[in-house]
Amino acid sequence: MGARCNFWLPKKKRFCANTPLGDSQFCGNHTQRSDGQWIPCPIHPSHSVLEENLQSHLKRCPFFKQAQSLSLQPFYKEGINTGKEEEGEQNFSSEMKRNAVHAMTLIQFSQLINKIKSVHASICNDIRDSFKIPQACDIWTNRQVDRGLPFQEKHVMQQASILGNLEELGVLKSCGDDDDDDVPAVVEFGAGRGYLTQVLADCYRIKKILLVERKSYKLKADRSLRQKESVTLERLRIDIEDLKLNAVESLQGVPYLATGKHLCGPATDMTLRCCISKQCDQHNDAPSELSCHLIGLAIATCCHHLCQWKHYINKRYMLDLGIGKDDFNAITWFTSWAVDADHGSNLGGTDWSFDLQIRENEHVESGLNTYDEVKDMVKNMKAVDRAVVGLMCKDIVDVGRFMWLKEHGLECELVKYVPSNISPENRLLVAKQKS
């Protein structure tokens, strides 16, 4: 047996089984890092490299061939769905957003919270409960599926309700219908392992599937889906921001249904741009009659704290509400508060127990700097109050997306598709083309 790495693994109670590097006693994973400057790999930031070794690394990076091959595909166009960027615009991390909030004065902070309350009261009154479990999904809800497929009840309830809302909207037909002329293709964005589409394929008459995901996953649904003789499956490993959907050969001239379960942050905005033909056509040299045609979509939003002003789909609507870039950054940071309380109860009807009305003539200097004042105020808020603010902010962001869909001629709704005790991330954008 060859030499082994001398790094002790306490959880496994043995030494690492990898082969050591050169004259070192340790493998590449456990060799002490050089004190040189480590930087993210520009090809794929999932790993880092010594700055002095960057040029040699780029030639042998395992992601290089993948990126090179992708750039030659007709459906690849870098940044096509990112939106128009203003000069000097950048992404704001959660830490940057938090620091900006803590740098506010108490009066500025109070005014922003009260603006959120006012805007939410004026535009977010029509978000109804729409928990739909269609009969078509009985084989999943009754656990009659292949035992080799993963089953978690809360995920199945979410997936079934997404499909139930699409069925109620009229863009999905149950397997009992004999008319196959209107069977759409399905494009799942941010597909992950693809189990939303697995439920869809098991319960409805779907013949063509396109899964869009930038990461590689194990235990995907692809193997089970490929066993269905009537289904053709294609998986594109590409970031949504770079996907020119009209150039995907297998979708030429095909009506399709767009789905996405928990599209994190700006991925929702990029997906909407990717799907709406009017938006896509501005990047086409000549709109083609064979271009793919969206008939409906269902997108469950999530991770609003990751949203970026530079990518947001409806800046004009926000500006009309008096919400600019700085306010948007603060609002998206507040959305992380939505998980601060127990979601077994209805937070929508919670009374405000923390009074943030601070008038200038009542403000007494505390001797603290501004950063500490706002930071302490946030710390002293009750968890339920923070959660209510966070949920309001999520709704405001999603209503802007809903309004954008309406402006582009779609019949759409923003609904709560599962109870909050199943998932607090329970907002669903569902839409179809008008007849």
Give the tokens for residue 226.
């490929």
Residue closest to 76 by CA, chosen among 283, 288, 309, 311: 283
Query: Is the Cα dihedral 342, 345, 348, 351 positive or negative?
Result: negative
What is the average per-residue pLDDT within 262-268? Answer: 92
pLDDT number for residue 174: 66
pLDDT number for residue 86: 66
pLDDT number for residue 310: 93
Span 272-329, pLDDT tens digits: 999 985 544 444 444 444 467 899 999 999 999 999 999 999 999 999 999 999 999 9
Span 179-229, pLDDT tens digits: 555 568 999 999 999 999 999 999 998 889 999 999 888 889 898 899 888
pLDDT number for residue 339: 80
What is the average per-residue pLDDT within 6-30? Answer: 86
35: pLDDT confidence band, cut at 50, 70 and 90? low
Percent of the chain at pLDDT > 70 equals 84
175: pLDDT confidence band, cut at 50, 70 and 90? low
Per the DSSP assignment, residues forming a β-bridge with 76 are 243
User: What single string gives the DSSP state of each residue in 280-307?
Assistant: HHTTSSS--TTS-EEEEEEEEEE-GGG-
In this structure, CATH architecture of domain 95-435: 3-Layer(aba) Sandwich (3.40)
Instruction: Tell me how far apart the alpha carbons of residues 130 and 148 are, in angstroms, rounded to a whole number.
Output: 30
Judged against a pLDDT cut of 90, whether residue 240 lies above it is answered with yes
Judged against a pLDDT cut of 70, whether residue 352 lies above it is answered with no
Global pTM value? 0.83
Instruction: Tell me how far apart the alpha carbons of residues 37 and 31 are, in angstroms, rounded to a whole number.
Output: 16
Q: What are phi and psi of 371, to 5 degrees?
A: -55, -45
Judged against a pLDDT cut of 80, whether residue 87 lies above it is answered with no
- Domain extents in the chain: 1-32, 95-435
pLDDT number for residue 64: 82
Instruction: Tell me how far apart the alpha carbons of residues 168 and 174 are, in angstroms, rounded to a whole number.
Output: 11
Judged against a pLDDT cut of 60, whether residue 116 lies above it is answered with yes
What is the average per-residue pLDDT within 156-181? Answer: 81
Pick 237 or 84 by higher pLDDT.
Answer: 237
Q: Half-sphere exposure (CA, 13 Å, Cβ side) for 402?
A: 20
Specify the range with the lowest mean pLDDT, choosing from 44-58, 128-142, 219-233, 237-251: 44-58
Chain-centroid distance of CA 425 in Å reads 11
DSSP label at 47?
S
401: pLDDT confidence band, cut at 50, 70 and 90? very high
413 to each of 130, 159, 166, 299, 426, how far by Cα in Å?
10, 17, 11, 11, 13
pLDDT number for residue 127: 93
If you average pLDDT over every residue of the chain, what do you get? 85
